[in-house]
Amino acid sequence: MFCRECGKEISNEAVICVRCGVPTDVNQTDAVTRMLLPVGRSAYAIAAGYLGLVSVLLVPAPFAIIFGVLAIRDIKKNKNKHGIPRSIFGITLGALFTVFYSYLFLFSS
């Protein structure tokens, strides 16, 4: 098979092209591939997930909420993108740690 982007010959089992990194058509819709690689996932959803993970550090918490909301809007606008669970994860942890740190700052005095 050949890459649809650069034309390089790649194996039939390839998930992405080794030359340009574009996902192959064969595995793009495979749920397992989407779970392991960010194929077809909104970049906002990826950012929201990682920001949610590090939101315990306070500063990323509000950004996790913002990127989570942007991801959901992006996914609803582009039906070929995925990542709603990751977006919700970022929103949830971002909100949890924003409320937690707000409570600590307000009542620590």
> Both 20 and 49 in a single domain?
no
Residues 73 and 86 in one domain: yes
Which SS3 state, helix, strand or coil, does residue 9 take? strand
pLDDT 10s digits, 47-104: 999 999 999 888 889 999 999 999 999 999 988 888 899 999 999 999 999 999 999 9
Let me know whether 24 and 53 are in one domain.
no
Instruction: Based on the fold, state whether residues 10 and 45 are members of the same structural domain.
Output: no
Mean pLDDT: which of 6-15, 37-46, 63-72 is highest?
A: 63-72
Q: Whole domain around residue 1: which residue ranges?
A: 1-39
Closest to 28 (Cα-Cα) out of 42, 47, 41, 9? 41
The number of folded domains in the chain is 2
Note whether 24 and 64 are same-domain residues. Answer: no
59/96 same-domain check? yes
The answer to whether residues 72 and 26 belong to one domain is no
